[in-house]
Every structure is written in C-alpha cells, then in structure tokens.
A and B are shown apart, each in its own frame.
Chain A
Amino acid sequence: MIELEVSNTNIQHMDNLQKMRPPSVIDRYFKKRFKTDVQNKTGEDQLILTHSNRVCVVCIADSHPLIREGKIATKVSFEDKGWNRLDNKFSGKSKRGAQWLDSQAPLCQVTCSDGSLYTLVCCIKGQLIEVNERLLQKPHLITEKPCGEGYLGVLLPGLKWYEREMQKLKSEEEYQSILESRENNLT
C-alpha cells in the first residue's frame, strides 16, 4: 500500500500522491484473513474481512474459481434443504435470536451460467448478522466487486472464541504462499 509518510517539500511527489488512491476502507478498518479449499475443494478460497470490533465480513477470495475462471453468476441463494439464512430475525444490541452458525455451515449457493454450483460457507463460528440480499437481484456483484458490494454476509463471532476462530484462519502471507505452492504443483 502507499505510504503517506512523505516530506511536504517534495511537491512533485505530492502531486502524484494526490492522484493515487489513499488507503481504502478495507486497508483502514479491516484485516484480511483467508480460508482456503472450502469443503475440501481445492481453490475454493474465501476472504474474511475482520474489523477490530469483531465484525466479520465474509467474501470470496480472488483465487476462487468464480473469479479465477471468469464465471458468470446467475443466481445466489441463501437457502437450501435444511438451512435458510434469510430466516434470521433478531433484536437489540445483543442480536438476540440471530442464527448461531458453525464455520463449516453453508452461507449461500451460487449458480453460474455454465451450470456449475458453488457452496460458500460462513468460515467462522458466530452469529449471523446479515446476508447481502442485494445478491438476490444482482448476482453478478459477487464477481464484479468481491470485496465490496459483492460481500456475502456479516458474522459476529462470540467474544470467548474470537481469538481461537481467528487462529484457524490464514493470514495474507500464509494465503499467498499457499497460492504459490498450488501454482508450483500445477507446473
């Protein structure tokens, strides 16, 4: 990321800097963590943006086949046999009544134009606070803006096991090295 520790006198540099993008919302407020090979399917990686207040935004990672293989998502569904993430009523600051989900629990299913179907999971154990209902009408956001408007949902892990849940996820460095070794395996 761009470092803004620049001397004021370097006017040329300042000018360039002003054209460049300042640290983004994600850079400023979130830490990126990853879950790779979701449901033991190689390459099905997910990105979890964790805010310092424990709120977790679940997204797909750039290495997920949906993006890597340039799929066109035609349908996003938050329900299937035995689970329905849209049926999630809760109230108050404590979010009483929200679904408690396990890290392996399915969050949504994405159907693509080529007929392929992907299941995306919660990645962390916690309360389901939100699903991105916009994806119902605009499934294409999931690949167009994977870590923006195309987020899948929001979870709030319990205070007690927050640290433990974070440990189970992979850091950005670990994720990069996994990607590298995957590529080495292919070649």
Chain B
Amino acid sequence: MSYLMTYNCIFIQKMDTFNLLTRSSDETKQVSSSLRQIGCCERCILRNLGELNPTSYKSTPQEIERTLLPEELWSSSSVNQCPCPSCLGILQQFADDDYLLKILSNVQKDGYQFSNYQCSLILPVSLLVRQKALFIFLQNKFGNTYKGHETKIASVKDVWKWSCGFRLGQLLGANFQNRSEFDILMTFTYKDSDKECAFLLDHLPDTFRKRKQRKFGFETFTRANVAKALDSMSDSKLEDCVTCPPAVPTTECVCDVSCSHDAVFIAGRYQKYSRELSQTPWMIEGKRIMEGSVQEIICEPIIETFKPTDHRLSSSGREDVDVRMLGIGRPFVVELINPHCVKFSKEDLVQLQKRINSVSKDVKVRDLQIVTREDTNNLKEGEIDKTKTYSATCWCEREITDKDMEMLGGIKDLTLQQKTPLRVLHRRTAATRERIIHSLHVDKLTSCRFKLQLTTQAGTYVKEFVHGDFGRTSPNMIELLKAECDIIDLDVESVNVEWPPLIDPVQSDNRNLDDERNSQDSQPLLIDKCVDKLQSSISVNGQNGAVLEKLADKQLITGEMKIE
C-alpha cells in the first residue's frame, strides 16, 4: 500500500506536468475514464485530453494510464483488447517495442546507408471520421472544456512520431528528424475505411464522384475530400450519420513498411573520342545496333557504387554518334533515384572517376562531384543559351584561297535561317529557325580540304550549315564559298557552360592538326555506312516500317550535329 502511495504521488506530480484541456484533476479523471470506457488506448486518452507537448508522449502507456486513470480502470497490462476506436491501434500495437523491432528488421533487410531518418505515415481515411465523432462525443459530454478546441487535439500521425521517433532512432542507430533524406514510409490500410466513410456519399454526392483517372488510384475517398466534407457538415447532422462515440473496430489495420532515399546527383564532364559510340544505347526492336554507349560507360560504375533503384543521365545537349566530344568535355548529371549507398568522401569520388575512366579509352570523365538538385538547373540553362565551339573537316570542290579564308574569318554573328533538317524532320516540328554563327576560322589542310572552326549559338545544326541541306539552311558554306562544299567529320571542341565547377586541371590543348587528319581520313563517316547497310538489309527482308522509323530516329543521332 505504501508502495502504491508513493506511486500515486509521482503520478499526481506527473499529471501536473501535462498541459491538458481539462481544468481539474477530477475532470481529467472523468474524461479519461469515459475515454477508457469506449475503448481508447492510453496514448489516445492523453491525446484527446488536448496534450500537445511531444515530450509527454515519451511516457509508456503504463505510465500514462497510471497518471490519468483511477486504479480500477488500469488495463490488465499487455493482454490486449480490441484496437482503439480512436487510432485503430496505430498508437497501440503499432507503437509498441515489438512492432518497432519489426520495422527495424524490415529496414535492415533493404540495406540502406543513413545516419538520420524521417518517417511518413499514410493513415486510413476513416480515421478522420472517427476523430470527428469522438470530438462530438466529448463536446457533448464535457461541454465548454472542449468547445472550440478541436485543433488542440494532436493528430495520430504526430503522436506516433513523438512517441516512437526517438525509440526507433535508437534501434536504428540514426537520429530521428522531421526532415531527412532517408524516409521510412508506413502505409496503414484498414479494411472498413471506405465503409465508414460511405455515409458521406449520400450527403455530398458531388464531392465524391467516382474518380476515373488512374492517377488518383480510383479512390473515392481521399483525406482532402473527406476532411472538406466533414467540415461542411454540422455536428448535429454528423451525429445522425455516425456512431458517436466511434465503435470499437472489429478488424485490425495492416501496415506496410518501405524505405526510400532522396535522389543523389552526380555531375561531371565527359569527353568522347570515338565516332562509333552513341550517347544512349542504340536499340531497334530490342536488338542492339551498336555496342556500348556513353551512358553505359559512365553510369555502370556509378550504379555499382551508389546502388540506386533507377538512374537517369542528362547532359547539356548531345552529340551524334559520329561526332567526337573534345576539350574539357560536356557537362552531365546522373540522377540516382533511391540510392542505397550515399556516404562518400571526395577521395571516394576520385576513385570512382578513375574506375569510370578505366572502362574504355573512348570515354573519359572529369570534375566528378556530388551536386544538389537545384544545381542541376545549370545544365538545362546551358542547353538553351550557351554557345558551342566546333571543329569540322570540310571538303570544297575548288581550292580554298587566302581571300576565302579572310572572308570567312571576318564573319561575325552571321544569322542563319535554318529549316528543320531533313534528317530530323520526321520527328521535329517543321519550322524555320534563326541561329547565329558567332565566328568562323579556316585552316587549310590540303588543296581541297580545310578545317573549319566555329562558335555557334546553341541549337545550330552545324552539318547542315556546311552542306546546306538542299539550300534549306541559308546562308551556308556553299553559298559563302560559291562552290560545292561538304562536311567530312565534326568534333565538339567546347560546350561553353561554366558548370559544374572545375576540379581537375585543364590541360592546354595542343593537338596537332596533321596527326588528326591522318587518323580521320582512314575512317570517314563509318556510321553513315553502317546505317546504309542496315537500311538495305531491312528493305531486303521487307520488314515493316516501324523498324525504319526507329532506325531513322537513331540516325538522327548519327547524323545530328545539333547540340540541343
């Protein structure tokens, strides 16, 4: 008995530390008792007393019970009863230590790396109806204590976090935070949820028209529309439709736990030294046309390192299969969706970059770094308004004179009228677009061949500027030289985007034009040949047009020079 006395003393003190709506300990006992009588769990009793202090919910259910309830209403401990009508058991069996251990094993199974975490709860919609019914019940019974204080009842979601966040964090060895990159999502489903909302259909049929769109998952009742409907109905009307207080549920909730990590973005620049490598895998009807791709070479080591569930490579424009990307390279970003491993030092990234660079001699990356989602906007901006510098080997039917070189070298900001090139016309809007060639420079290679260096506005099709595309790009090199002219090969020398920040040293570019010429002339436009061969083989086999369509799409990449 003396033991109980001290016990009671502690709890009475503790009761003072709670900040409740009730105005006396007697009233608290009354409210608690009546909540207990309708089947509420301990946390819901405290919650429905208006306690909004998160720390209060760190008390165990037993502590809460002994503080608030008269002894005769203490539950015979863990021999647990039906689910609480106020939280459907979410603050009851889904908040006890055994359940947290289940979450722990679930999370561990997925093998994520994290040092802090947040959690999200998706709760059954009918919880809103039950909460409303309970409040009406309390208001009717205890009048002024509750009137106008509906907002002072903490939500089930908040109470779960206040009660379990820290405890689960200790089990996981990670700090619980309101906002973290690592999320543990708990989805609670309750079989009778729709049934308990069904009365709303009769009262507000317009609000609950059957959703036809898939994006809403064909759900009739959502948190938003149910909350709105409940607000619009008067308490007396609700009393007629809903059981007040809410009935003890006959079935339990089911909880599904899943984890996710915010996307991680890896930026860098890539150089491509091959004229037989596409940026993305080149497939026609599931069949591979060309081995490898820039995307695969760059992404595979990154995927192995970060273990994401999905990934996307985007770059500041792209080059054709037969175009090399030189200079310091083209900025790119790999978005790693739901990565499992995320803790990497600068040194780890240096190692990762080395690994990528050991995959192939055709693709090299530099300036590899982790960036934020906001940073990646720089990439798209660069695509639209930054200039590009190219170097093209060209042919002319006559010898290039000093006068030609002077004339071309003197050109500044030449405006082109460029019709959508024939090679992309099937999939791009037909239009005449204005594009600017900022400057031109010519170096003679042989009597009929010359190296054309040019800086252009983003979106300029350079191959078409040289050969004219049936006069559809004008002016073009044929018009400028007043002689037949064609392009033999093309390199992108620079994509003038000052992002991502440089990390690796920039080597001065002293490439020898003569060396290059030899290597280039030995394998001219191999891709074009490849496509031609394919085309003829396809027409021989008489396959349907879809193949051609896809092939054509790809040839775009082949023939395309534009850096969009």
Evaluate contact between A154 and B446: CB separation under 8 angstroms.
Answer: no
B430, B469, B518 — which one has the most chain A CB atoms within 10 A of its CB?
A: B430
A57 to B535, CA, bound (A): 17
Given A14-B521, A22-B486, check contact A53 B446 (CB 8 Å): no
Counting contact residues on chain A (CB < 8 A from B), the size range is: 35 or more
Evaluate contact between B549 and A163: CB separation under 8 angstroms.
Answer: no
B452-474 interface code vs A (CB 8 A; 1 in, 0 out): 00000000000000011111000
Evaluate contact between B426 and A23: CB separation under 8 angstroms.
Answer: no
Evaluate contact between B548 and A54: CB separation under 8 angstroms.
Answer: yes
B469, B471, B555 — which one has the most chain A CB atoms within 10 A of its CB?
A: B471
A166 at the interface (CB under 8 A from B): yes
Our count of residue pairs bridging A and B at CB distance below 8 angstroms stands at: 111
A132 to B474, CA, bound (A): 13
A8, A51, A53, A151 — which one has the most chain B CB atoms within 10 A of its CB?
A: A53
Stretch at the interface among B43-51, B402-410, B537-545: B537-545
B104 at the interface (CB under 8 A from A): no
B362 to chain A, nearest CB (A): 21
Which residues does chain B contribute within 8 Å of A93, judged by CB atoms?
A: 427-429
A93 to B488, CA, bound (A): 29
From A4, A22, A55, contact of B422 by CB (8 A): A55
B556 at the interface (CB under 8 A from A): yes
Which residues does chain B contribute within 8 Å of A134, judged by CB atoms?
A: 471
From A25, A54, A163, contact of B467 by CB (8 A): A25
Which residues does chain A contribute within 8 Å of B448, judged by CB atoms?
A: 18-19
Given A57-B470, A90-B430, check contact A18 B525 (CB 8 Å): no
A21 to chain B, nearest CB (A): 7
A23, A24, A25, A130 — which one has the most chain B CB atoms within 10 A of its CB?
A: A25
Which residues does chain A contribute within 8 Å of B446, judged by CB atoms?
A: 15, 18-19
A166 to B423, CA, bound (A): 18
Evaluate contact between A149 and B544: CB separation under 8 angstroms.
Answer: no
B553 at the interface (CB under 8 A from A): yes
Which residues does chain B contribute within 8 Å of A129, judged by CB atoms?
A: 425, 430
B390 at the interface (CB under 8 A from A): no
B476 to chain A, nearest CB (A): 10
Given A52-B552, A162-B545, A162-B548, check contact A149 B471 (CB 8 Å): yes
A151 to B544, CA, bound (A): 28
B546 at the interface (CB under 8 A from A): yes
B395 to chain A, nearest CB (A): 5
Evaluate contact between B525 and A52: CB separation under 8 angstroms.
Answer: no
Evaluate contact between B422 and A52: CB separation under 8 angstroms.
Answer: no
Evaluate contact between B470 and A54: CB separation under 8 angstroms.
Answer: no
Which residues does chain B contribute within 8 Å of A24, judged by CB atoms?
A: 486
From B525, B542, B555, contact of A163 by CB (8 A): B542
Evaluate contact between A23 and B556: CB separation under 8 angstroms.
Answer: no
Evaluate contact between A23 and B528: CB separation under 8 angstroms.
Answer: yes
Chain A residue with Cβ nearest B556:
A53
Q: Which of A66-98 contact B (CB under 8 A)?
A: 90-93, 95
B531 at the interface (CB under 8 A from A): yes
Which residues does chain B contribute within 8 Å of A4, judged by CB atoms?
A: 524
Evaluate contact between A52 and B531: CB separation under 8 angstroms.
Answer: yes
Which residues does chain A contribute within 8 Å of B97, judged by CB atoms?
A: none
A51 to B423, CA, bound (A): 7
Evaluate contact between B426 and A53: CB separation under 8 angstroms.
Answer: yes
B149 to chain A, nearest CB (A): 58
A121 at the interface (CB under 8 A from B): no
A118 to chain B, nearest CB (A): 21
Chain A residue with Cβ nearest B397:
A21
Which residues does chain A contribute within 8 Å of B468, judged by CB atoms?
A: 148-149
Evaluate contact between B518 and A8: CB separation under 8 angstroms.
Answer: yes
Evaluate contact between B525 and A28: CB separation under 8 angstroms.
Answer: yes
B333 to chain A, nearest CB (A): 26
Given A53-B552, A95-B430, A160-B545, check contact A25 B522 (CB 8 Å): no
Which residues does chain B contribute within 8 Å of A55, judged by CB atoms?
A: 422-423, 425-426
A32 to B47, CA, bound (A): 81
Evaluate contact between A19 and B447: CB separation under 8 angstroms.
Answer: yes
B508-531 interface code vs A (CB 8 A; 1 in, 0 out): 000000000010011011001001
Which residues does chain B contribute within 8 Å of A95, judged by CB atoms?
A: 430
Chain A residue with Cβ nearest B539:
A166
Evaluate contact between A149 and B531: CB separation under 8 angstroms.
Answer: no
Q: Which of A9-58 contact B (CB under 8 A)?
A: 14-15, 17-19, 21-25, 28-29, 31, 51-55, 57
Evaluate contact between A18 and B470: CB separation under 8 angstroms.
Answer: no
A71 to chain B, nearest CB (A): 21
A134-169 interface code vs B (CB 8 A; 1 in, 0 out): 100000010001001101001010011011001000
Q: Which of B419-454 contact A (CB under 8 A)?
A: 419, 422-430, 446-449
A16 to B434, CA, bound (A): 39
Chain A residue with Cβ nearest B476:
A149
Chain A residue with Cβ nearest B549:
A159
Which residues does chain A contribute within 8 Å of B528, judged by CB atoms?
A: 23, 28-29
Evaluate contact between A92 and B545: CB separation under 8 angstroms.
Answer: no
A66 to B297, CA, bound (A): 54
A19 to B426, CA, bound (A): 35
A148 to B553, CA, bound (A): 23
Which residues does chain A contribute within 8 Å of B542, judged by CB atoms?
A: 163
B268 at the interface (CB under 8 A from A): no
Evaluate contact between B395 and A22: CB separation under 8 angstroms.
Answer: yes
Evaluate contact between B552 and A22: CB separation under 8 angstroms.
Answer: no
Chain A residue with Cβ nearest B527:
A28
Chain B residue with Cβ nearest A7:
B522
A22, A24, A166 — which one has the most chain B CB atoms within 10 A of its CB?
A: A22
Given A53-B426, A148-B471, check contact A23 B546 (CB 8 Å): no
Evaluate contact between A159 and B430: CB separation under 8 angstroms.
Answer: no
A91 to chain B, nearest CB (A): 7
Evaluate contact between B428 and A52: CB separation under 8 angstroms.
Answer: no
Of the A-B pairs whose beta carbons lie under 8 Å apart in the complex, a sample of 20, sorted by A's number, is A17-B521, A18-B447, A19-B446, A21-B486, A22-B488, A23-B525, A23-B528, A28-B528, A52-B535, A53-B555, A54-B545, A54-B552, A55-B423, A93-B427, A129-B430, A130-B430, A132-B470, A148-B470, A156-B425, A163-B544
Chain A interface (Cβ < 8 Å from any Cβ of B): 4, 8, 14-15, 17-19, 21-25, 28-29, 31, 51-55, 57, 90-93, 95, 129-130, 132, 134, 141, 145, 148-149, 151, 154, 156, 159-160, 162-163, 166
Known A-B contacts: A18-B521, A130-B430. Give 8 more (CB < 8 A).
Answer: A19-B447, A22-B524, A23-B524, A54-B545, A92-B429, A159-B546, A162-B548, A166-B539
Going nearest first, the 8 A-B pairs with the smallest beta carbon separation are A53-B552, A149-B471, A162-B545, A53-B426, A28-B528, A159-B545, A52-B535, A18-B446
